[in-house]
Amino acid sequence: MASNERSFVLWLHGLGDSGRANEMHLKDRFTVPELAGTKWAFPTAPSAPVTCNNGAIMNSWFDICNAPITSKSVRGLDDVLESVQKVHAIIDKEISDGTDPGNIFIAGLSQGGAMAIASILLYPNTLGGGAVFSGFLPFNSPVEDRISPEAKKTPILWCHGTLDTLVPFEAGEDGKEFLKKLGMNYEFKAYDGLGHSLDEMELEYFQEWLQHQLGRSSKKLHFSACGLFNKLCF
């Protein structure tokens, strides 16, 4: 498979978790042929003291000041932006290796979901898509002026359980309204009775969603190639 035909999924773990643990749980769950050649990456956040856990040192993308967790739980934007830069470096490396940006996806659970949406909104170009599971907007100040028109074209899947008590369902709805205000292409799925967890139903739907987005990307590539061929040869 040529590198520009390969898909790439960057999965970001939640607070206190690790990339390795998520890889063991997730990597082999996506078995449809369209994802057979997908490259997955599961980075681990740096260790840092976390305020909402009494300063305990754990893997964390940025500090969280209190719980239940909402955008108001993030008091400073600097450490969010620092982690976003690290995510962008991974994406830039994958693109430089030849993967088409339209085949690149960022997804994450909880704090990782917050990182996923932040990384997509603050990336200067359009990617294949982003998926947020039980996440929240990690912005405590306006960021609209940092979001490029190209970033707004990236499709978003947001899944949230109605009984989530750690990251309340309302935090997911706030994210939905923010994306709506930006005019983005998003799908918000509410899971009745689901708490703060990653359910098999969500993973199955995520797989279907990835298939759909990759199908759209493939059609765009085919159209562009045909258009170029016609321009050069006819």
Residues with a known catalytic role: 110, 164, 196
The SS3 call for residue 112 is: helix
Record the tokens describing residue 226, joined without a space. Answer: 């045909």
Tokens of 181: 């205000």
- Retrieve residue 233's tokens: 């040869």
Residue labelled with tokens 């899971």: 191
Spatial contact of 13 and 59, defined as CB atoms under 8 Å apart: yes
Under a CB-based contact definition with an 8 Å cutoff, are residues 70 and 136 in contact? yes
Helix ranges, 27-102 (H): 78-96
Strands (E), 113-211: 129-133, 156-161, 186-191
The label of the residue with tokens 């909104």 reads 121
